Amino acid sequence: MNTVKGFLALLFVMFVTNISAQTVISNDIYQLRKYKLQAQHQEFFLANFKNHTMPIMQKYGFSILSTWIEGNEFNYLLKWDSQSSIQSKWLQLMSDEGWRNQKAHIQQQYGNIIEEISEHVLADLVSMKNQRGFTAFNIGDIECIALSDGFVSLPAQPSIAPHISANLVANELTKGFRKDNIIDYPINVLLIKKDSRLILIDAGQGYANRNAGKLVGYLQSMGIQPSQITDIVISHAHTDHIDGLIDSNGKSIYSNATIHVSRVEVEFWESLDNDFANSINNVFAIVKPQIELFEDGAVIHGFIKNEIAPGHTPGHVICTIFSGTEKLVAINDLVLDVIILTHPDWGSGFDSNFEQAISTRKNILFQLSENKQLVWGSHMPYPGIGYIRKNDEHSYEWTPKFISSPTSNK
């Protein structure tokens, strides 16, 4: 027993001497590892961890903050400066010859002395998002983080303004100092954090587009694993919003998330039989056990209201995220590009009902501009946060929210 006490005392000292520094530096990632031990080998394990494993870990720059025993479980807490160093340092450790030999030796002598290993990666969400330049802001007590899955590059027409002359469209684009016939549509994704909920608005385009598929990496660099996402609200079922739900092997990425989709949207695509609809229905089929259908006006978890804004697709929704007197309206694909704010009736070749999309767009833009409402849009310039300003009766303008730095949440 002396070995155990001495070992714990040593680590307690390490923990105490480190903690004061740790509390002021909040950019780190903490990795908690839990080993379920066989009772008869507990003492041997601890001695081996102290005498063999720890020196090798220290050689590779592992920083062990603390260790403790709970019943038959040995726990230790590691500190890392980045997600990538977790992977690289563990790889170094596992290919260390001394470590491998000792492991083989123990296995031969005692068999499996560890019954089970589990781990949790803990990251300070606030500091990580700032360190990485994610744009975060608060709506009351709800934390919103503007993320990106990348972008999708398309010919300007017919993705917008299918019935307008190419010259007029090119003029509008060049006025904005942009390419005159190509639009690089941002694929913005919103992460919403409240209490134990981690909610995404849409899942991006994922593997299906070589300029996209960045969302999972961004989440992981904040210390969030896809399995930790609790909910995904799908604004509508176009590929740049749902293909990111699955990986290239056709597996659901966000395996524990409830996927909220409007009933109208799912039924619409199910009623069609063409290549485009089939690819959408395939994605829905893969994540079917996770899907929860909602009706127009449904409020999810008491703070996200989803209202059908039809036209782009029949079940396309805008989402109002509210807390106290504050709110944010996720307009999603109500407007595909800032040019469509100036010309709401130019529309998009992707609108499933072109005329209905125009009238929905005009009505909602009018209300948002009258209310000076903060909005977020899937395809507005990253980070997609801003206001709709009225120019004249039928024309609006995008005013990005003034953000002083990526670390600002004001």
Instruction: Mark out the alpha helices in 132-165 (DSSP H runs).
Output: 156-159
Task: For Zn ion, give the closer residue by CB, 74 or 346.
Answer: 346
Amino acid letter, 324: G
Closest to Zn ion by CB, 149 vs 333, is: 333
- Rounded to 5 degrees, φ, ψ at 269 are -70, -35
Structure tokens at 278: 């089939």
* Closer Cβ to Zn ion, 333 or 337, answer by number: 333
Phi, psi of 243 (to 5 degrees): -65, -25
Q: Give the nearer residue to Zn ion in terms of CB position, either 54 or 357.
A: 357
CB of 387 to Zn ion, least distance (A): 21
Query: Smaller CB distance to Zn ion: residue 28 or 333?
Result: 333
- Tell me the torsion sign for CA atoms 280, 364, 337, 159: positive
Strand extents, DSSP E, 90-205: 114-123, 135-139, 142-155, 182-194, 197-201
Least distance CB 398 / Zn ion (angstroms): 16
Q: Specify the residue, 231 or 240, whose C-beta has the smaller distance to Zn ion.
A: 240
Angle at the Cα of 145 (from 142 to 150), degrees rounded to 5?
155
Residue 389 tokens read as 């300003």
Q: What residues make contact with Zn ion under the rule CB under 5 A?
A: 240, 333
CA-nearest of 4, 87, 5 to 39 is 4
Burial 166-200 (b: 16+ CB within 10 A, else e): eeebbebbeeeebeeeebebbbbbbbbbbeebbbb
- Least distance to Zn ion from the beta carbon of 248, Å? 21
Cβ proximity to Zn ion: between 172 and 240 the closer is 240
395: left (phi over 0), alpha (psi -120 to 50) or beta: beta
Q: Give the nearest distance from C-beta 321 to Zn ion in angstroms.
A: 19
Cβ 57 to Zn ion shortest distance, Å:
46
The nearer residue to Zn ion, 28 or 337, going by C-beta atoms, is 337
What minimum distance in Å lies between the beta carbon of 131 and Zn ion? Answer: 29
Cα-Cα-Cα-Cα torsion 69, 70, 71, 73, nearest 10 degrees, comes to -70
CA nearest neighbour of 212 among 162, 257, 149, 158: 149
CB of residue 79 vs Zn ion: minimum separation in angstroms?
A: 40
d(CA 26, CA 14): 19
State in angstroms the smallest separation of the CB of 206 from Zn ion.
Answer: 13
